[in-house]
Structure formats: C-alpha cells, structure tokens
A and B are shown apart, each in its own frame.
Chain A
Amino acid sequence: MPATNSSVALALWGELFRGRLSRRQLLARGAQLGLSAAALGALARSPLVAAAEQGKPGGKLSIALRRDFETLDPGVNSDASDGIFLMAVFDRLVERTPDGKLYPGLAQSWSVSPDGLAWTFKLRQGVKFHDGTPFNAAAVKANFDHIADPKTKSEYAVFELGPYAGTDIVDDYTVNVKMTRKYGPLLAGLATYGMGMSSPAAIKQYGANLGQHPVGTGPYRFKEWVQKSHATVVVNPDYNWASGREAHNGRAYLDEITFDIIPEDATRLAALKSNQVQMASNVPPADWKKLADGGKFTTEKILQEGYPPAGAFINVTKFPTDDLKVRQALIYAVNPDEINQVVYEGVAAPANGIISTFAWAYDKDSAIYSYDPDKANALLDEAGWKMEGGVRKKAGKELQLVYLTLTTVKDAAEVVQAQLQNVGVNVSILAEDNPAQQADAQAGKHNLVWTQWEGVDPADLHKIFGSENIGTGWNFAHYSNPQVDKWFDEGEAETDQEKRRAIYNQIQQTIMQDAAFIPYNNVTNLWGFAAGLAGTNVIDELGSAPQIYDIYWNKP
C-alpha cells in the first residue's frame, strides 16, 4: 500500500525531532519520497518543525581533530583547521558567510571615508571579555596594534589587516581604522578567524604566552589546553547576542566541549564509532559515505572556499608548457569528474576556474574549458607535437612533463598522468612533502604543481598570480601579466562589491585564457557526528568546520 502524504510527513518530522535530519535535509528527503509540493510547503511551515529545531541547552561533546592547535592566539595563528576553536572562544568585528554577505559582529555598523583611508566602526555595547574586561574602542586598538606589532610575529591576521596605519579612538565605542591606501578586502579580512578580539588585559599580562591563555568574548570560554592531547572549553553563560549569521542567539547550547587530537584517520574514526568522541573531522571519503547507514551517525560535507580551489598550476615559463597551445591542451585533456570519482569517491565537486564555483566572486564565464580530449589532441597537433607510438614528439624530443605533488595527493597525480598519457603526454611524478614541495614549486622545477589555497576574498589571488610573487612568493605558475597586476591593484583599492566583481571577472577570464591553471575540484571537508547531535549544518566563515555555537543534543 503506497504511503500517504501524511504518514511520510509524520515519519520525517519524527526524524527531525530525533535530530537525525536538519530542516534542509528534511525538505530534500520529503521531495525524494514524493511528497506533494503542497505537503512539503505545509511541513516546512509547520510550527512543530520550528519547535523541533529549537536547541536544548546542556550536555557535553568531544570532538576529534586531526591536528593539534598551532597556537590559541588568533592574531598569530595561520592554521585554518584551528578555526573551530577560535570561532567559538572569540568574536570578530564583522562576521560573514561564504557567499560574501557580511553581518554585524562586535561592530554594529561601519563606514569608509570618501578617500578610502579611514574605516569607522561603531562597536557593540555591553560586551565583556571572559576575564571581565569590557569590550570597547581601546580593546580594538590594542588588538590591531598587537597583530601589527612585528614582535607578535603574526602569520595570517597581519596580512588580512592589509595596509594598516593605526587605530584612532574616537570615543568609547567608535574607532577609526586608518589605512595607508585604499583597501577593499578589509571587511572580509576582519571576519576571518585571525581577527578574533582578545582581552587587552590578557595581551598585556601574558605577552608571548598569550597563545596558551586565550581570553575572548565568545560563546565559549577557554578552560585548558594539554598540548598534543586535548583542549577544553566551557560555555560562557553571559553571552547574550549573535551576529545574525548563526541559527540562534544568546547562550550557546552545549555546556562543555573537549577537542581531542587524533592524527591517525583510522584511530579518529574508531574513536567516533566507539563513542569516545561524538564528532570527528576529516573522515576518509570511503568511510564517510557509509557512515550514515544504520542511523547511528550523521554526516556533513562542508565546501571550503578556495582561491584557487584544488588543481594544478601550469608553469608558463618552463618548456614545454611555455607554449599556450600545449597548456590549453592539458586543460582539455584533464577530466575533473574522473578525479573526483577515483580519488574522492565522488564526494568533492569538480571545479572550473581559479575560484571555487560557489564563492561570491566566481565568474562562470571564465569556465571556458571542459573535458575534451579531441580538442586536446587537435591543439597538440597544431603546436607541432606529433603522435609517434603513444607519445608525442617534436624535433626529436618527447613531450615530457614534470608533475610536482604532495605525497598525500599522489593518487590524483596518477589519475592525471593516465589522462595525459591518453593524448600522448608523458608525465613523471615528483611527490614531496611540505615545506619541500613549496620550496621546489617556488624554484620552478615543475611543469605542473598540485596545490589548493583557502581564502575569503578574491584579492587573495594577487598572492597567487601577481608577478612580484614569482620565485619568493606563491606564484607557482610563474605567471607574469602586467595588465592582470594592474587589475589586482584596482581590485584591492575598490570598496564597492559589484565594481570589484567586474574587475575580478576580467582577471579570472584572462588567467583562464592564458591557461595558467588546471582546476580539479572544490575542496570538501567531511565531518561525522553521533546521531542525536543537531545544528551541525551552520558553518564557519570559510567552510572548514561547523560552528559549534549552534550545535546541541537532540536526543528524546
């Protein structure tokens, strides 16, 4: 007997109530199960569904992470995976979602002067740091000065702060942040985890040891960090606001959270399955796909913004990839779908450009290539490389490329090697670990080098494709285009998002036309959870982890 609309709806609501589905998943499942549009609409609007989503406070959680924290001072830290801690213990002036939308954080409003050299922030009132120090203009100044101070040795925040010239305190809750030149990406930069506001009293008291004694304003307070073992945070009961990008406001739900450091994939998964932890990061794709079967666990796939996404830079200065036709042929010959299936079990999504396809600045008109081995063959013929017994030759030389990769993604290299072999290109793989791989990429020993970069603003592309970053910087394509360099400067100086979009569209199209990068896939972060854990689908600003602020236990 076919299931009726109401019985299906009831079953789905039960799943929602037991925390096994989020609202989004519920509607997707409903559609899959054939609920009529009217029934779906009624379900979505149902007050029962709304009630089921309201988080219940209480309970503890253990989260298994792959790597220990580098440091708990957000102003120094450069490890994106530490964001899960830093987003919970600290707040930022501005908050953002990966679609580029900004929300008021510790700053309730902001404006920029007409000459672009001074940003005025009106600060949220009534907020205290975990040590009781009030949050105010002096605190903001102390933080920015701490980040910019060479003695702090900031590895990320200082770069996001851009051409910072100092902070003026206008009154207790107003600051003027001064720049030496116009800088459009500032707001996106202020929303990164590196810009968490620390208590100025703690900055002064702990000095170089601030990294072991984090004091923020966030929904969780720091309790302890036993290095290479675990860190613990407890709920901040005085937290009484939220920026609007979260799913609720006020106090966080869970009482206490422990971050357990478990580097080995198999051990981390075993810890989740044996309930030693209830949430695990970086679940291997094959295991992740099966984890939700049986209803004891749930999963999330979080898309991480990349500038560029995972892929291979083509060294435009080294023979034979110094020939544009050869480079274009390579892009046509690579099949990102196959890479996704073979290496990531279909869990990642193919990329098509130098920016992740879901980022706000992505230009779909820059996606000018598709998998087309015929076109690749035609281009290589045009370039004078003639097929002779499986490999192409020109003037007696074989078409031979060096592909530099990390040992952890050697399998992707092997897939691409086979794909390029199909069009007569011989690839030799050089697999190294960081930092050796980066050093060799800077030196240009490769024709192709695999990499992936995270980022929150298209201005980050400047570090990757700007000509001054060849050799000593991160321009692994060794790409030099004066017009693109000019556009980078314009894009950074512009503060209007739509104007910036137009500039970065041109950059994306030009770089793809010059064939400096082969896109493979958007990076996905795979998380596993014990069933009964809800609110796991609100993600942090760049897509590396769920925000633990919104997570709660939804067990009956």
Chain B
Amino acid sequence: MFAYVRRRILISIPVILGLMTLVFFLMHLLPGDAVTAMLTEYGASAQDQAQLRHNLGLDRPLLVQYADYMEHALRGDFGRSLFSHEAVTSQILTQLPATLQLAFASMLIAIVVGGGLGVVAALRHNSLADRLSMLLSLVGVSMPGFWLGIMLILLFSLRLGWLPAAGSGSLKQLILPAIALSLGSIAVLSRLVRASMLEVLRQDFVITARAKGLHQRTVVAGHALRNALIPVVTFIGMQFGYLLGGAVITETVFARQGIGQLAVGAIQQRDMPLVEGTVIFVGIITVVANLAVDLVYAAIDPRIRVTS
C-alpha cells in the first residue's frame, strides 16, 4: 500500500512539471505582459516601460526566463509576485484557509442535502417526493451561481439583516457563500446517489438482507448505501479538488479571500510567478484528491484492493 502511494506521487511529479511548462508558454501567447497590466492608468513612455521591463527581468529571452524560473522552483523558491513583490508561497498560504473553509462547508452541505435527497428519491422511487427532488436538483444546477449569490445577499443581508454581505473571517460570513456554492454539487450528488441506490436496491444481496428480516434502516444504511457510494466518492473527490482550486465567482460575489480569485487575478495581470505558484498548488491538490479517492475505494469495497 505504501509503495503504491509512493509510486503514484512519483509519477505525478513530471505531470506537474509538464503542467508548469505548458502554462508558462501559454501565458506568453496571451497579448500584453505584466508591465502592460501595471500601467493601465497613468501610461508610461516607451523608455520608462522598457526600463521597468528590464528591472523585472521580462526583457530576457523566453527560454532564459523559463530556465531561471524552473531552476528556482525545483529548489523550492517560487519567487515573488511581480505586482506586490510578496513571496508567492506566503500569498497562497494566506488565501488558503478561506478556500478550505468554503470547500469543506459547501461539500458538507452538498453531501447532507444532496445525499439525503438522493436516498429519499430512490426509496420512494417514482413518487411525488422523487419527482420533487429531481426538479429541485434541476433548478439547482441551472441557476447561475453569480445571480444566486447576489439574490442571497439581497434577501439575507439587505432585507432581513441576518447575515453579513461580504468577507471571509467568520462563520456567519461562510453561510451564504457555502449555500450558493453547494447548489451545483447538490444537484449532481442527488442524482448520482439516487441512480446508484436504485441500482443497488435491485441487487440480490439486498433482497437477501430483507429476506433475513433485517430492518429497512439497516438494509439501507448498512448495506445498500455503502455499495452505492463508489460513484459518489469519485464525484466528491474530484469536486473537492475543483473547489480547492477555488470557486472564483462565489469568492468575487461574496468578497472572500481564496485561491480562485488569486489565480484569476494573477492571470489577468500576467503575474507569472503567482500564476505558476497557483498552478503548482492546484496540481498538487488534484493529485492528492485523486489518490485519496482511490484509497477510499479500497476502504469501502473489499473487491478493489490495491496491489503494489
């Protein structure tokens, strides 16, 4: 098992390095560079721009910049933001807690609500409850997160005054954004759980369990649910990886800190070290999330065992 994990991690290193290379050259295909992005209000003479580009090292040949960056990165030095001059690592670490909070909170809501809806829908297959759950799910996935976020603010912050409109420090500030963000996941999860449960409930071993006289709750929770979980675990793992990459729209609407808007801002500003830093970070998260998903499979399904 340990060897398996180690092998997976080793394989992911060239993947992340390749990702960094791809991003570096893709970014340079975009028009404009950091200096163009910096000087959007006062303008600057051609000479001044050339001077600033030189100071920032942006006038060196592309391959030289690439080699210089990679050499530092491999030694763990991810450089400083071209704009704020702050170390990239510390910027990412500052934005991380808010992202973690939002990802966990919205995932929790999605699992509880989405999972609950899915189970209810499967157990009461084809009933009104089933149809309603699926309708709710359709509405949830169709609503634009941007619009929903603002609606929640207008209702709960402005009209009712129950919750703050913006910010990322406190629990109260987490509630609305977590709800807004969870809707998409609730929609998908409820359908996934429902479909998975329906399939499992038809299986022989469920009929056997019922025939043994087991309580409905034991059948569902103890046997059916566990088997239904496999596609759900896949989804949760991948969704979590995506969420940790940052939910940009939710973060922007609710004025939250987060990796998403850090990354998007860095791309818009052509802030190369910061872009690469967030790419590495998201890459690592994705690798870890995929690995975790595989390990959880093994834990819940004895038929799937990892071999080294």
Q: Do A and B interact? A: yes
A70 touches B36 (CB 8 A): no
Q: How far is the CA of A552 from the CA of B36 in the complex (A)?
A: 39
Residues of A within 8 A of B255 (CB): 260-264, 267-268, 271
| Contact mask for chain B residues 28-45; partner A; CB cutoff 8 A; 1 contact, 0 none | 001111001111111111
Shortest CB distance B223–A (Å) = 47
Q: How far is the CA of A78 from the CA of B41 in the complex (A)?
A: 8
Q: Which of B106-152 contact A (CB under 8 A)?
A: 150
Q: Which of B1-24 contact A (CB under 8 A)?
A: none
A435 touches B42 (CB 8 A): no
**15 A/B residue pairs, CB under 8 Å, sorted by A:** A78-B38, A211-B85, A212-B84, A227-B84, A230-B167, A260-B255, A266-B153, A267-B255, A268-B166, A274-B161, A433-B268, A435-B269, A460-B43, A471-B46, A474-B39
Residues of A within 8 A of B40 (CB): 434-435, 438
A-B residue pairs, 9 tightest by C-beta: A435-B32, A473-B46, A435-B36, A439-B31, A474-B43, A262-B255, A439-B32, A472-B46, A436-B31
Q: How far is the CA of A208 from the CA of B84 in the complex (A)?
A: 9
Q: Which of B241-282 contact A (CB under 8 A)?
A: 252-258, 261-262, 268-270
Does A150 reach chain B (CB closer than 8 Å)? yes
B150 touches A267 (CB 8 A): yes
Does B221 reach chain A (CB closer than 8 Å)? no
Does A270 reach chain B (CB closer than 8 Å)? yes
Does B208 reach chain A (CB closer than 8 Å)? no
Please judge, given known A-B contacts A260-B167, A267-B253, whether A434 and B36 are in contact too, CB under 8 Å: yes
Q: How far is the CA of A369 from the CA of B150 in the complex (A)?
A: 44
A159 touches B166 (CB 8 A): no
Does B91 reach chain A (CB closer than 8 Å)? yes
B46 touches A209 (CB 8 A): no
Q: How far is the CA of A373 from the CA of B84 in the complex (A)?
A: 48
Does B52 reach chain A (CB closer than 8 Å)? yes
Residues of B within 8 A of A353 (CB): none
A473 touches B44 (CB 8 A): yes
B262 touches A228 (CB 8 A): yes
Shortest CB distance B265–A (Å) = 8
A267 touches B254 (CB 8 A): yes
B270 touches A435 (CB 8 A): yes
Count of A interface residues, CB-CB < 8 Å = 60
Residues of A within 8 A of B150 (CB): 264, 266-267
B31 touches A440 (CB 8 A): yes
The residue that B31 contacts in the complex, of A78, A273, A435, A460, with Cβ under 8 A, is A435
Stretch with Cβ within 8 A of B (4 or more), from A409-417, A420-428, A461-469: A461-469
Q: How far is the CA of A390 from the CA of B253 in the complex (A)?
A: 44
Q: How far is the CA of A460 from the CA of B36 in the complex (A)?
A: 17
A270 touches B158 (CB 8 A): yes
A270 touches B49 (CB 8 A): no
Please judge, given known A-B contacts A228-B261, A435-B36, A464-B43, whether A267 and B166 are in contact too, CB under 8 Å: yes
A264 touches B252 (CB 8 A): yes
B36 touches A150 (CB 8 A): no
Residue on A with the closest CB to B56? Answer: A153
Q: How far is the CA of A462 from the CA of B42 in the complex (A)?
A: 12
B residues with a Cβ closer than 8 A to A are 30-33, 36-52, 54-56, 80, 82-86, 91, 94-95, 98, 150, 153-154, 157-158, 161, 164-169, 252-258, 261-262, 268-270
Does A347 reach chain B (CB closer than 8 Å)? no
Q: How far is the CA of A274 from the CA of B37 in the complex (A)?
A: 34
The residue that A434 contacts in the complex, of B32, B84, B167, B262, with Cβ under 8 A, is B32
Please judge, given known A-B contacts A226-B94, A270-B158, whether A70 and B84 are in contact too, CB under 8 Å: yes
Shortest CB distance B49–A (Å) = 7
Q: How far is the CA of A395 from the CA of B218 in the complex (A)?
A: 86
Residue on A with the closest CB to B37? Answer: A435
Q: How far is the CA of A154 from the CA of B42 in the complex (A)?
A: 13
Please judge, given known A-B contacts A271-B166, A454-B41, whether A208 and B85 are in contact too, CB under 8 Å: yes
Q: How far is the CA of A438 from the CA of B153 in the complex (A)?
A: 35
Kindly list 11 other residue pairs between chains A and B, CB separation below 8 angstroms, not including A267-B166, A455-B43.
A71-B83, A71-B86, A153-B55, A212-B86, A227-B86, A270-B154, A274-B157, A276-B157, A454-B42, A463-B45, A473-B46
B85 touches A474 (CB 8 A): no
A473 touches B165 (CB 8 A): no
Does A79 reach chain B (CB closer than 8 Å)? yes
B31 touches A468 (CB 8 A): no
A150 touches B252 (CB 8 A): no
Does A155 reach chain B (CB closer than 8 Å)? yes
| Contact mask for chain A residues 197-216; partner B; CB cutoff 8 A; 1 contact, 0 none | 00000000000110110000
The residue that B45 contacts in the complex, of A263, A434, A468, with Cβ under 8 A, is A468
A150 touches B55 (CB 8 A): yes
Residue on B with the closest CB to A264? Answer: B253
B44 touches A463 (CB 8 A): yes
Residues of A within 8 A of B44 (CB): 159, 463, 473-474
A229 touches B41 (CB 8 A): no
Residues of A within 8 A of B37 (CB): 434-435
A227 touches B257 (CB 8 A): yes
Does A80 reach chain B (CB closer than 8 Å)? yes
Q: How far is the CA of A245 from the CA of B31 in the complex (A)?
A: 42
Residues of A within 8 A of B270 (CB): 435
Residues of A within 8 A of B256 (CB): 228
B95 touches A438 (CB 8 A): no
Tell me which of B33, B45, B157, B257 has the highest count of chain A C-beta atoms within 10 A of its own C-beta.
B45
Residues of A within 8 A of B86 (CB): 71, 209, 211-212, 227
Q: How far is the CA of A212 from the CA of B158 in the complex (A)?
A: 34
Q: How far is the CA of A411 from the CA of B268 in the complex (A)?
A: 22
Residues of A within 8 A of B262 (CB): 228
The residue that B91 contacts in the complex, of A64, A151, A227, A473, with Cβ under 8 A, is A227
Residues of B within 8 A of A267 (CB): 150, 153, 165-166, 253-255
Residues of B within 8 A of A228 (CB): 94-95, 256-258, 261-262
A435 touches B46 (CB 8 A): no
Residue on B with the closest CB to A304? Answer: B41
Shortest CB distance B273–A (Å) = 13
Does A344 reach chain B (CB closer than 8 Å)? no
Does A76 reach chain B (CB closer than 8 Å)? yes
Residue on B with the closest CB to A155? Answer: B38
A453 touches B85 (CB 8 A): no
Shortest CB distance B274–A (Å) = 12
Does A129 reach chain B (CB closer than 8 Å)? no
A80 touches B84 (CB 8 A): no
Residues of B within 8 A of A79 (CB): 41
Please judge, given known A-B contacts A273-B158, A468-B47, whether A439 and B36 are in contact too, CB under 8 Å: yes
Does A156 reach chain B (CB closer than 8 Å)? yes
Residues of A within 8 A of B164 (CB): 271, 274, 276
Residue on A with the closest CB to B80? Answer: A208
Q: How far is the CA of A155 from the CA of B58 in the complex (A)?
A: 14
